[in-house]
């Protein structure tokens, strides 16, 4: 990655927006670590029981959604409290296409991505004229409004009953079980999404977004068109959420308005903050978090996940504004190594 960018560890105020990726791990090690991770990810479904494979699949789904949210929040510095809405749009696009038009399910992925992108762009044009706070308000209002809207267009969306769909059947040549096939579909989409996001961020676009996040005025002076980059960031991030929603539909085989309440949006933001704003590994850690913390802590009390999420978010903003990913990065830096 980039050269030895010194990261200043003496942050006075917890400011996630100001920190940079810690580019201190040598590129070679990064690739090896990534390859090992991918190998483990490919190996895992053959060793786990179907329920655990399903859980890992959902981690990947959330990771893709968080990747999109991260583009917007972590990299462009804009707040969205309504990303569950784009997740829902992707999920419903896929479901409606399969259910009403008999479109092959794999084909629904690009279509869901396109629809989410367009909706995100359409909403982004007015929303991005707003400063951070108001954007949070508008996106929150969108997320709240979506549920009754989905219920209203009953003939298309199945109303509050939702739509039940057949799950994708694994092709005969693969020899995989259903849960394994779904897992590999999700893994494929996730890897693709990460590649797209990583190359996007390394390009001119990524630099422009970081400039907007760090100092809007300076960015504008340097020739970055604020409104168009913010709107595009919003649209891209909506697209990733829509892709995640589409895979969600494949995996769950059922969509209903009540799966996509405001809680989903808030949980996504919580997961991202805890996982790590502005880093590429943050969304994966956030996905693990969103999936496993509720399922483990729910045994204590129905409210336990919320208490844990809420406390952790506040705590993370105080002590580790880069989330778990940032903490991991800091630990790695502590390991002495030869230059």
Partner 1 sequence: MAGFLQQVVQGLGAGAIYASLALALVLIYQFTGIVNFAQGELAMFSTYVAWQCMAAGLPFWVALPLTLVVSFAGGMLIERVIIRPVEGAPELTIVIVTVGLFIFVNAAAGWIWTFLIKDFPNPFPGGALELGGVSLSFSTLGVLGVVALVMGLLYLLFQHTKIGLGMRAVAANPASARLVGIRVGWTLALGWGLAATVGAVSGVLVAPLLFLEPNMMAGVLIYAFAAATLGGFDSPLGAVVGGLVVGVAETLAGAYVGFIGSDLKVGVPLVIILGVLLLRPQGLFGRAAVERA
Q: The tokens of 24 are what? A: 């201190």
313 close to 273: Cβ distance less than 8 angstroms: yes
Q: Which of 244, 249, 250, 236 is nearest to 267 (CA)?
A: 244
Give me the residue label for tokens 């991005």.
Answer: 128
Under rule CB under 8 A, residue 307 binds partner 1: yes
Distance linking the first and last C-alpha atoms of the chain: 16
Under rule CB under 8 A, residue 133 binds partner 1: yes
Under rule CB under 8 A, residue 161 binds partner 1: no
Under rule CB under 8 A, residue 156 binds partner 1: no
For partner 1, the closer of residues 109 and 273 by Cβ is 273
Q: Which of 63, 85, 138, 243 binds partner 1 (CB under 8 A)?
A: 138
Q: Kindly report the number of other CB atoms within 10 A of residue 253's CB atom.
A: 16
Q: Which phi-psi region, left, alpha or beta, contains residue 159 (left: φ > 0; alpha: ψ -120 to 50)?
A: left
Residues that bind partner 1 (rule: CB under 8 A) add up to a total of 52
Alpha helices by DSSP H, the chain: 27-43, 50-70, 83-101, 105-127, 132-152, 154-157, 178-202, 204-214, 216-221, 226-252, 262-275, 282-297, 304-319, 323-334
60 close to 285: Cβ distance less than 8 angstroms: no
User: Which residues, listed in sequence order, are joined to residue 282 by a DSSP beta bridge?
Assistant: none
Under rule CB under 8 A, residue 335 binds partner 1: no
For partner 1, the closer of residues 195 and 311 by Cβ is 311
| Closest separation in Å from C-beta 256 to partner 1 | 15
Cα angle 262, 268, 273 (rounded to 5 degrees) comes to: 130
| Closest separation in Å from C-beta 211 to partner 1 | 15
Q: Which residues, in sequence order, are CB contacts of 23 under 8 Å at separation 6+?
A: 1, 2, 3, 4, 5
Q: Which of 315, 296, 313 is nearest to 305 (CA)?
A: 296
Stretch that binds partner 1, among 45-53, 100-108, 145-153, 178-186 (CB under 8 A): 145-153
Q: Which of 6, 195, 302, 337 binds partner 1 (CB under 8 A)?
A: 302
Residues 231-290 that bind partner 1 (CB under 8 A): 262, 266, 269-270, 273
Q: Which of 15, 35, 106, 218 binds partner 1 (CB under 8 A)?
A: 15
Q: The tokens of 311 are what? A: 């406390």
For partner 1, the closer of residues 168 and 321 by Cβ is 321
Q: Which of 309, 320, 324, 326 binds partner 1 (CB under 8 A)?
A: 309
Q: Which of 87, 91, 56, 66 is nearest to 291 (CA)?
A: 56
Q: Which of 65, 67, 71, 77 binds partner 1 (CB under 8 A)?
A: 77
User: Which residues, listed in sequence order, are joined to residue 45 by a DSSP beta bridge?
Assistant: none
Q: Which of 52, 134, 195, 298 binds partner 1 (CB under 8 A)?
A: 134
For partner 1, the closer of residues 29 and 292 by Cβ is 292
| Closest separation in Å from C-beta 175 to partner 1 | 43
- Give the β-pairing of 163-164 and 254-255: antiparallel
For partner 1, the closer of residues 131 and 337 by Cβ is 131
Q: Which of 34, 44, 151, 254 binds partner 1 (CB under 8 A)?
A: 151
* Residues at the interface with partner 1 (CB under 8 A): 13-18, 73, 77, 79, 81, 126-127, 129-134, 136-138, 140-142, 144-145, 148-149, 151-152, 217, 262, 266, 269-270, 273, 301-307, 309-314, 317-318, 321
């Amino acid at each position: 990655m980039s050269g030895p960018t010194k990261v200043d560890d003496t942050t006075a105020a917890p400011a996630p927006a100001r920190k940079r990726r810690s580019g201190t791990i040598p590129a070679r090690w990064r690739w090896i670590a990534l390859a090992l991770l991918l190998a483990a990810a490919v190996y895992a479904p053959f060793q786990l029981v179907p329920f655990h494979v399903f859980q890992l699949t959902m981690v990947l789904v959330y990771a893709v959604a968080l990747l999109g949210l991260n583009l917007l929040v972590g990299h462009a510095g804009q707040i969205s409290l309504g990303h569950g809405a784009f997740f829902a749009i992707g999920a419903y696009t896929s479901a409606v296409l399969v259910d009403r038009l008999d479109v092959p399910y794999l084909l629904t992925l690009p279509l869901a991505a396109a629809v989410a992108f367009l909706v995100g762009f359409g909403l982004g044009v007015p929303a991005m004229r707003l400063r951070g706070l108001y954007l949070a308000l508008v996106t929150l209002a969108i997320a709240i409004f979506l549920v009754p809207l989905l219920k209203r267009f009953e003939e298309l969306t199945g109303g509050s009953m939702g739509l039940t769909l057949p799950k994708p059947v694994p092709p005969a040549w693969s020899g995989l079980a259903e849960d394994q096939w779904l897992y590999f579909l999700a893994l494929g989409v996730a890897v693709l999404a990460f590649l797209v996001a990583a190359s996007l961020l390394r390009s001119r676009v990524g630099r422009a977004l970081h400039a907007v996040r760090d100092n809007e005025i300076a960015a504008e002076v340097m020739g970055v068109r604020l409104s168009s980059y913010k709107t595009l960031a919003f649209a891209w991030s909506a697209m990733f959420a829509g892709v995640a929603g589409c895979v969600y539909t494949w995996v769950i085989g059922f969509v209903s308005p009540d799966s996509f309440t405001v809680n989903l949006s808030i949980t996504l933001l919580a997961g991202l903050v805890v996982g790590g704003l502005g880093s590429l590994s943050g969304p994966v850690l956030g996905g693990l978090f969103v999936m496993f913390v509720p399922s483990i802590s729910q045994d204590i009390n129905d409210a336990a996940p919320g208490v844990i999420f809420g406390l952790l978010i506040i705590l993370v903003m105080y002590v580790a504004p880069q989330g778990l990913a940032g903490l991991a990065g800091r630990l790695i830096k502590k390991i002495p190594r030869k230059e």
